[in-house]
Amino acid sequence: MRSSIKLIAAAAVLLLLITPPVAAVVQEKTVAGTITNVNQAKGTIDIYADKMWNGVTWTGISVQFVADQKITGTAPSSDAMAYLCVGDTVQATFTGESPQASWVTVSKVDGTDPTGKFLIASFGDPSKIVNSFQNNFKVTFDTAPDCESCSGSVCTASSAYVKVVQGWNEKNYPSDAQMIPGERHVFKSPEGCLQELSVTFLNGEASAGLCSAASPVGRQPFSVFTIEVVQKGSVQDYVPLPVVQTVETEVPTPVPTQASPGFGFVIAVIGIVAAMAAVAATAAVKKH
Protein backbone atom coordinates (compact mmCIF):
# COMPACT_ATOMS: atom_id res chain seq x y z
CA MET A 1 0.00 0.00 0.00
CA ARG A 2 2.77 2.39 0.97
CA SER A 3 4.69 1.58 -2.18
CA SER A 4 1.59 2.41 -4.26
CA ILE A 5 1.22 5.78 -2.53
CA LYS A 6 4.89 6.54 -3.16
CA LEU A 7 4.47 5.66 -6.84
CA ILE A 8 1.43 7.97 -7.16
CA ALA A 9 3.26 10.80 -5.41
CA ALA A 10 6.29 10.34 -7.64
CA ALA A 11 4.08 10.35 -10.73
CA ALA A 12 2.40 13.58 -9.59
CA VAL A 13 5.75 15.29 -9.07
CA LEU A 14 6.93 14.08 -12.47
CA LEU A 15 3.75 15.42 -14.08
CA LEU A 16 4.34 18.84 -12.54
CA LEU A 17 7.91 18.87 -13.80
CA ILE A 18 7.07 17.96 -17.39
CA THR A 19 3.92 20.12 -17.70
CA PRO A 20 4.75 23.54 -19.18
CA PRO A 21 3.63 26.50 -17.04
CA VAL A 22 0.56 28.39 -18.15
CA ALA A 23 0.70 32.18 -17.89
CA ALA A 24 -1.70 33.73 -15.44
CA VAL A 25 -4.79 35.34 -16.90
CA VAL A 26 -4.77 39.12 -16.58
CA GLN A 27 -7.63 40.15 -14.31
CA GLU A 28 -9.72 43.07 -15.56
CA LYS A 29 -12.01 45.26 -13.49
CA THR A 30 -14.56 47.71 -14.87
CA VAL A 31 -15.74 50.71 -12.86
CA ALA A 32 -17.80 53.87 -13.28
CA GLY A 33 -16.92 57.10 -11.55
CA THR A 34 -15.34 60.54 -11.80
CA ILE A 35 -11.86 61.64 -12.85
CA THR A 36 -10.10 63.32 -9.92
CA ASN A 37 -6.65 63.90 -11.44
CA VAL A 38 -4.90 63.87 -14.82
CA ASN A 39 -1.14 63.81 -14.31
CA GLN A 40 0.44 64.86 -17.59
CA ALA A 41 4.01 64.36 -16.30
CA LYS A 42 3.43 60.76 -15.19
CA GLY A 43 0.87 59.89 -17.87
CA THR A 44 -1.65 58.67 -15.27
CA ILE A 45 -5.35 59.19 -14.62
CA ASP A 46 -7.04 58.94 -11.21
CA ILE A 47 -10.68 57.82 -11.08
CA TYR A 48 -12.88 57.77 -7.98
CA ALA A 49 -15.09 54.72 -8.57
CA ASP A 50 -18.75 54.85 -7.53
CA LYS A 51 -19.91 51.67 -9.27
CA MET A 52 -18.53 48.41 -10.62
CA TRP A 53 -19.68 46.25 -13.53
CA ASN A 54 -20.44 42.63 -12.58
CA GLY A 55 -20.95 41.44 -16.14
CA VAL A 56 -24.70 42.11 -16.09
CA THR A 57 -25.32 45.44 -14.37
CA TRP A 58 -23.68 48.25 -12.41
CA THR A 59 -23.49 47.59 -8.68
CA GLY A 60 -21.93 49.27 -5.63
CA ILE A 61 -18.19 49.00 -4.97
CA SER A 62 -17.28 46.12 -2.67
CA VAL A 63 -14.24 46.05 -0.39
CA GLN A 64 -13.23 42.72 -1.92
CA PHE A 65 -13.32 44.22 -5.40
CA VAL A 66 -11.13 47.24 -4.75
CA ALA A 67 -9.81 48.36 -1.37
CA ASP A 68 -9.50 52.00 -2.34
CA GLN A 69 -12.17 53.63 -4.48
CA LYS A 70 -9.56 56.00 -5.94
CA ILE A 71 -7.74 54.12 -8.68
CA THR A 72 -4.55 55.46 -10.27
CA GLY A 73 -3.59 53.95 -13.60
CA THR A 74 -1.54 54.60 -16.73
CA ALA A 75 -3.57 56.27 -19.48
CA PRO A 76 -4.34 54.14 -22.55
CA SER A 77 -3.06 56.81 -24.97
CA SER A 78 -1.87 60.40 -25.31
CA ASP A 79 -5.26 61.21 -26.87
CA ALA A 80 -6.91 60.25 -23.59
CA MET A 81 -4.56 62.56 -21.68
CA ALA A 82 -5.35 65.47 -24.01
CA TYR A 83 -9.14 64.96 -24.05
CA LEU A 84 -10.12 63.90 -20.52
CA CYS A 85 -10.35 66.40 -17.66
CA VAL A 86 -10.91 66.44 -13.91
CA GLY A 87 -14.64 66.15 -13.20
CA ASP A 88 -15.46 64.03 -16.28
CA THR A 89 -17.81 61.13 -15.56
CA VAL A 90 -16.35 57.96 -17.06
CA GLN A 91 -16.61 54.22 -17.38
CA ALA A 92 -13.24 52.46 -17.41
CA THR A 93 -11.57 49.06 -17.37
CA PHE A 94 -8.19 48.50 -15.72
CA THR A 95 -5.70 45.73 -15.02
CA GLY A 96 -3.29 45.44 -12.10
CA GLU A 97 -3.56 47.24 -8.80
CA SER A 98 -3.58 50.95 -7.98
CA PRO A 99 -1.36 52.94 -8.12
CA GLN A 100 0.46 50.76 -10.70
CA ALA A 101 -2.71 49.86 -12.59
CA SER A 102 -3.15 50.29 -16.35
CA TRP A 103 -6.33 51.64 -17.90
CA VAL A 104 -7.31 49.35 -20.78
CA THR A 105 -10.05 51.75 -21.80
CA VAL A 106 -11.53 55.00 -20.47
CA SER A 107 -14.85 56.27 -21.87
CA LYS A 108 -16.47 59.62 -21.19
CA VAL A 109 -20.17 59.45 -20.35
CA ASP A 110 -22.82 61.82 -21.69
CA GLY A 111 -24.11 63.54 -18.54
CA THR A 112 -23.24 63.47 -14.86
CA ASP A 113 -24.29 59.90 -14.09
CA PRO A 114 -21.22 57.64 -14.56
CA THR A 115 -23.50 54.68 -15.26
CA GLY A 116 -25.31 56.69 -17.95
CA LYS A 117 -26.60 54.93 -21.03
CA PHE A 118 -24.51 56.71 -23.68
CA LEU A 119 -20.85 57.61 -24.24
CA ILE A 120 -19.44 60.54 -26.20
CA ALA A 121 -15.80 59.42 -26.47
CA SER A 122 -13.62 56.43 -25.65
CA PHE A 123 -9.88 55.74 -25.52
CA GLY A 124 -8.31 52.30 -25.50
CA ASP A 125 -9.80 48.90 -26.34
CA PRO A 126 -13.44 49.11 -27.59
CA SER A 127 -14.09 45.47 -26.67
CA LYS A 128 -14.10 46.53 -23.00
CA ILE A 129 -16.81 49.17 -23.46
CA VAL A 130 -20.03 48.42 -21.58
CA ASN A 131 -22.49 51.02 -22.92
CA SER A 132 -23.20 52.38 -26.40
CA PHE A 133 -22.21 55.74 -27.83
CA GLN A 134 -24.67 58.55 -28.50
CA ASN A 135 -27.18 57.67 -31.24
CA ASN A 136 -26.68 54.07 -30.09
CA PHE A 137 -23.47 53.56 -32.08
CA LYS A 138 -21.84 50.23 -31.24
CA VAL A 139 -18.28 49.29 -32.24
CA THR A 140 -16.77 45.84 -32.75
CA PHE A 141 -13.44 44.89 -34.30
CA ASP A 142 -11.05 42.09 -35.21
CA THR A 143 -7.30 42.46 -35.68
CA ALA A 144 -4.99 40.72 -38.14
CA PRO A 145 -1.54 39.72 -36.84
CA ASP A 146 1.85 40.54 -38.28
CA CYS A 147 3.28 37.04 -37.89
CA GLU A 148 6.83 38.39 -38.19
CA SER A 149 6.31 40.45 -35.03
CA CYS A 150 5.13 38.19 -32.21
CA SER A 151 6.03 37.83 -28.56
CA GLY A 152 4.56 35.08 -26.45
CA SER A 153 0.81 34.85 -26.95
CA VAL A 154 0.39 38.11 -28.91
CA CYS A 155 1.55 39.63 -32.18
CA THR A 156 1.57 43.22 -33.38
CA ALA A 157 -1.59 43.91 -35.39
CA SER A 158 -1.02 44.83 -39.02
CA SER A 159 -4.64 46.00 -39.45
CA ALA A 160 -8.05 46.06 -37.83
CA TYR A 161 -11.44 45.23 -39.34
CA VAL A 162 -13.86 47.65 -37.64
CA LYS A 163 -17.64 47.40 -37.78
CA VAL A 164 -20.12 50.01 -36.53
CA VAL A 165 -23.87 49.51 -36.19
CA GLN A 166 -26.52 51.96 -35.09
CA GLY A 167 -30.03 51.67 -33.72
CA TRP A 168 -31.67 49.39 -31.23
CA ASN A 169 -31.56 46.53 -33.71
CA GLU A 170 -27.87 45.75 -34.23
CA LYS A 171 -28.56 45.01 -37.90
CA ASN A 172 -29.47 48.66 -38.54
CA TYR A 173 -27.12 50.74 -40.69
CA PRO A 174 -24.04 48.49 -40.58
CA SER A 175 -20.81 50.01 -41.81
CA ASP A 176 -17.31 48.55 -41.81
CA ALA A 177 -13.73 49.43 -42.72
CA GLN A 178 -10.35 47.73 -42.90
CA MET A 179 -7.94 50.08 -41.10
CA ILE A 180 -4.17 50.24 -40.70
CA PRO A 181 -2.41 51.72 -37.62
CA GLY A 182 -2.77 55.51 -37.57
CA GLU A 183 -5.83 55.52 -39.86
CA ARG A 184 -9.02 57.44 -39.04
CA HIS A 185 -12.39 56.56 -40.56
CA VAL A 186 -15.64 58.47 -40.08
CA PHE A 187 -18.62 56.14 -39.96
CA LYS A 188 -21.58 57.98 -41.45
CA SER A 189 -24.99 58.07 -39.82
CA PRO A 190 -28.35 57.88 -41.63
CA GLU A 191 -30.05 60.95 -43.07
CA GLY A 192 -31.59 63.15 -40.41
CA CYS A 193 -28.94 62.30 -37.80
CA LEU A 194 -26.64 65.23 -37.01
CA GLN A 195 -23.78 63.16 -35.60
CA GLU A 196 -21.40 60.49 -36.83
CA LEU A 197 -18.65 58.38 -35.32
CA SER A 198 -14.94 59.10 -35.78
CA VAL A 199 -12.78 56.02 -35.19
CA THR A 200 -8.97 56.09 -35.20
CA PHE A 201 -7.02 52.84 -34.95
CA LEU A 202 -3.80 53.83 -33.18
CA ASN A 203 -2.19 50.43 -32.68
CA GLY A 204 -3.12 46.95 -31.63
CA GLU A 205 -2.35 43.33 -30.98
CA ALA A 206 -3.69 40.04 -32.29
CA SER A 207 -3.53 36.51 -30.96
CA ALA A 208 -0.37 34.60 -31.86
CA GLY A 209 -2.64 31.59 -32.29
CA LEU A 210 -3.63 33.03 -35.67
CA CYS A 211 -0.03 32.54 -36.81
CA SER A 212 0.85 29.22 -35.20
CA ALA A 213 -1.16 26.54 -33.46
CA ALA A 214 1.84 25.95 -31.22
CA SER A 215 1.87 29.47 -29.79
CA PRO A 216 2.09 29.59 -25.98
CA VAL A 217 -0.87 30.40 -23.75
CA GLY A 218 -0.67 33.84 -22.20
CA ARG A 219 -2.31 37.20 -21.89
CA GLN A 220 -4.99 38.32 -24.29
CA PRO A 221 -4.26 40.95 -26.93
CA PHE A 222 -5.25 44.58 -26.37
CA SER A 223 -5.72 47.33 -28.95
CA VAL A 224 -5.86 51.12 -28.72
CA PHE A 225 -8.48 53.25 -30.49
CA THR A 226 -9.72 56.81 -30.23
CA ILE A 227 -13.49 56.99 -30.76
CA GLU A 228 -15.51 60.22 -30.70
CA VAL A 229 -19.06 61.24 -31.50
CA VAL A 230 -18.64 64.24 -33.83
CA GLN A 231 -20.85 66.63 -35.75
CA LYS A 232 -21.44 65.68 -39.38
CA GLY A 233 -18.74 66.99 -41.68
CA SER A 234 -16.47 68.20 -38.87
CA VAL A 235 -13.89 65.40 -39.23
CA GLN A 236 -12.53 63.76 -42.38
CA ASP A 237 -11.04 60.35 -43.08
CA TYR A 238 -7.27 60.10 -42.75
CA VAL A 239 -4.90 57.43 -44.04
CA PRO A 240 -1.22 57.78 -43.08
CA LEU A 241 1.30 57.80 -45.90
CA PRO A 242 3.25 54.54 -46.21
CA VAL A 243 6.73 54.62 -44.73
CA VAL A 244 9.31 54.28 -47.48
CA GLN A 245 12.53 52.65 -46.36
CA THR A 246 15.47 54.46 -47.92
CA VAL A 247 18.81 52.69 -48.39
CA GLU A 248 21.83 54.90 -48.13
CA THR A 249 24.53 54.13 -50.71
CA GLU A 250 28.06 55.42 -50.56
CA VAL A 251 28.97 57.75 -53.41
CA PRO A 252 32.65 57.32 -54.40
CA THR A 253 34.74 60.46 -54.01
CA PRO A 254 35.83 61.62 -57.47
CA VAL A 255 39.60 61.43 -58.02
CA PRO A 256 40.95 64.71 -59.46
CA THR A 257 42.48 64.24 -62.90
CA GLN A 258 45.37 66.31 -64.25
CA ALA A 259 44.09 68.43 -67.10
CA SER A 260 46.03 68.13 -70.36
CA PRO A 261 47.56 71.40 -71.62
CA GLY A 262 45.32 73.20 -74.05
CA PHE A 263 46.15 74.97 -77.34
CA GLY A 264 46.57 78.35 -75.62
CA PHE A 265 49.17 76.92 -73.28
CA VAL A 266 51.21 75.55 -76.23
CA ILE A 267 51.16 78.96 -77.99
CA ALA A 268 52.38 80.65 -74.79
CA VAL A 269 55.33 78.22 -74.51
CA ILE A 270 56.31 78.84 -78.17
CA GLY A 271 56.21 82.59 -77.53
CA ILE A 272 58.49 82.29 -74.51
CA VAL A 273 61.00 80.16 -76.46
CA ALA A 274 61.00 82.66 -79.36
CA ALA A 275 61.61 85.57 -76.98
CA MET A 276 64.54 83.78 -75.39
CA ALA A 277 66.04 83.05 -78.83
CA ALA A 278 65.74 86.73 -79.83
CA VAL A 279 67.54 87.82 -76.65
CA ALA A 280 70.31 85.32 -77.31
CA ALA A 281 70.73 86.56 -80.92
CA THR A 282 70.96 90.20 -79.83
CA ALA A 283 73.66 89.37 -77.31
CA ALA A 284 75.69 87.58 -80.01
CA VAL A 285 75.55 90.58 -82.38
CA LYS A 286 76.84 92.95 -79.69
CA LYS A 287 79.91 90.75 -79.09
CA HIS A 288 80.86 91.10 -82.71
pLDDT in tens, 146-185: 999 999 899 999 999 999 998 766 667 889 999 999 999 9
What local confidence, expressed as pLDDT, does residue 159 receive?
Answer: 98
Q: Give domain 26-130's CATH superfamily.
A: Copper binding periplasmic protein CusF (2.40.50.320)
CA distances in angstroms from 201 to 23, 141, 149, listed in the order given: 28, 10, 18
Neighbours of 42 (CB within 10 A): 12
Domain chopping of the chain, boundaries? 26-130, 140-233
Higher pLDDT, 172 or 16: 172
Q: Is the peptide bond before 99 cis (omega within 30 degrees of 0)?
A: yes
What local confidence, expressed as pLDDT, does residue 26 receive?
Answer: 59
What local confidence, expressed as pLDDT, does residue 285 receive?
Answer: 45
Percentage of residues of the chain with pLDDT beyond 90: 59
pTM: 0.76
Could you tell me which of 104, 108, 111, 147 has the C-alpha nearest to residue 126?
A: 104
What whole-number distance in Å separates Cα of residue 73 and Cα of residue 163?
Answer: 29
